[in-house]
Structure 1
Amino acid sequence: MAALAAAAFVGLAGCSHAPIPVAENFPYTAQKKVRSAGHWDAVAEHVVSTTLARLAQTPASGQPLRVSLPSTPSAFDQAFRELLITRMVNEGKTVVERDDAPVRVSYQAQVVRHNSDRPHLIPGVFTAITAGVYVAHYLGVHAHPDAAMAGGLGYAALADVARSQYSGGPTHTEVILTTTIMQGDRYLVRNTDVYYVEDSDATLFQVARGPVPREFKVVSQ
């Protein structure tokens, strides 16, 4: 066994240099998926609470706001503006329709499409939490926690799978949503969030294109 370990160490030592960087995953993270108009409202609530909290730290916090619609709005853009205005008014902000409003709120939804495969499950959080709980409990109470820990970890792994499955899993399509608050030509607040969206819903976040012009062939008589 010692000889095998030594041989493995020598092999690893020989591979301590690589011609290119080695691929590595980022740490475990979670990203919400937007699947309904109700989710759009939840996103609007998050955007308003975040941006207004930061706006309150600027000299423009008490001035009237105008929420601008993108020049070529998508279905999401049109609905999202209404949701933002509703949330801001309910928060007690003064929202106006004047072009000369001192503070302007704008937003942009950029659709990103990935062509690579999407792993359906990134395991970790429930399993890790359960393992930590069992280790902390059984080290001081039981001498043989193996069976109970195995059962608990099994349920935790199922919870990881269920959480990913019930959300529909990661998709090839994401939306980068950036909200900006400006006073004149000065940026006061910028907030960017990234969400998964179903691939078939991507058109809701994209500007509708006009009909493709038909080509006619002229045949001489």
Structure 2
Amino acid sequence: MKFSKAVSLAVLAGAVATLAGCAYRSPIPLAENFELTVQPKVRSAGHWELVSNDVVAQTLSTLDKTGMAPGTQLHVALPPNPSAFDLAFRDFLITKLVQSGAPVLQDPGQALNVTYNTQVVRHNSPRPHFIPGQFTMIAAGLMAAYGLRHEHLDLQLLAALGATSLADYGASINSGGPTNTELILTTTVTRGGQYVARKTDVYYLENADTPLFMRPSYYKNVNMKVVSQ
């Protein structure tokens, strides 16, 4: 009897161990969301200018940190077969560099070479429109707790709720939500084949605006007429 009971307990323990082992094993990695982040959406030429201003500020700051002498000459190269964005972005860069006091040359010469590259990424999977509401809910909870103890709500709490609500919806609904198209923009400064400074950013694009960032093809569609012999 004792032997039979011992065998039963051993079988039970083995089954539990097996189930526990299965609970911590998976045929493939489980999906997990990243931490909450925000990504700007480029929707106007004015946004292109804002992007160029940020690129210039970061680039000049990096050059200063690398010990580059003030007044070092720069040349902004135009990408081959440029898109509408490429043409405008180069002008924005040159304008902001000159306004920042950087000497910009029309020809390369011995100047540092500033180049930029764009890559349009198209996702076929659906884009969930997540609207963060954590801060709004926290502020609303504080207001509710405060209101239970006082007859009148404090104006500061009303302002807090309004500000957090505005932040939540301004970063989500008013942006139109995420799209299937993204732009990877990389700006590089080189000298003699050596990387001196480099900056890469990612932005959302409206799907309908994608052609503005696509470089025109060298080949054009031609309608061919078939003639019978």
Normalising by structure 1, we get a TM-score of 0.80
Q: Which amino acid aligns with 1:48?
A: V
- The separation in 2 between residues aligned to 1:129 and 1:54, in whole angstroms, is 39
- TM-score using structure 2 length: 0.77
Q: Distance in 1 between matches of 2:195 and 2:40?
A: 27
Query: Are the structure 2 counterparts of residues 182 and 172 from structure 1 closer, same or farther at C-alpha, using a change threshold of 3 Å?
Result: same
2:9 aligns with: none
Paired with 1:203 and 1:102, the residues of 2 have a C-alpha distance of 32
4+ residue segments displaced more than 6 Å = 141-145, 151-155
Report sequence identity in percent: 46
1:180 to 164, 188, 194: 188
TM-superposed deviation, 1:109: 1.0
Q: 1:204 is aligned with what amino acid?
A: L
What CA distance in whole angstroms lies between the structure 2 residues aligned with 1:111 and 1:61? 35
Please, which runs of 5 or more residues in structure 2 have no aligned partner? 1-18
Paired with 1:101 and 1:68, the residues of 2 have a C-alpha distance of 13
What secondary structure, in the 3-state scheme, does the structure 2 residue paired with 1:208 have?
Answer: coil
Q: Distance in 2 between matches of 1:144 and 1:23?
A: 44
Deviation at 1:142, TM superposition (A): 8.8
Q: 1:206 aligns with which of 210, 214, 218?
A: 214
Deviation at 1:102, TM superposition (A): 2.4
Cα distance in structure 1, aligned partners of 2:165 and 2:126: 22
Structure 1 counterpart SS, 2:24? coil
The 5 Å alignment of 1:53-202 reads 53-62=61-70, 63-124=72-133, 126-127=135-136, 130=139, 134=142, 160-161=168-169, 163-202=171-210
Q: What is the correspondence of 1:33-72 to structure 2 with a 5 Å cutoff?
A: 33-62=41-70, 63-72=72-81
Matched, 1:21 2:29: yes
> Using a 3 Å threshold, how does the CA distance of structure 1 residues 159 and 186 change in structure 2: closer, same or farther?
closer
Report which stretch shifted further, 99-108 or 30-39: 99-108
Instruction: Tell me the CA shift for residue 59 of structure 1.
Output: 4.2
CA distance in 1, matches of 2:24, 2:211: 47
Question: CA 1:175–1:165 in 2, change beyond 3 Å: closer, same or farther?
Answer: same
Note the C-alpha offset of 1:93.
0.2
Deviations 1:55-99 (A, max 9, x none): 112343432100000011000000000000000000000000123
Q: 1:158 to 1:37 in 2, by over 3 A?
A: closer
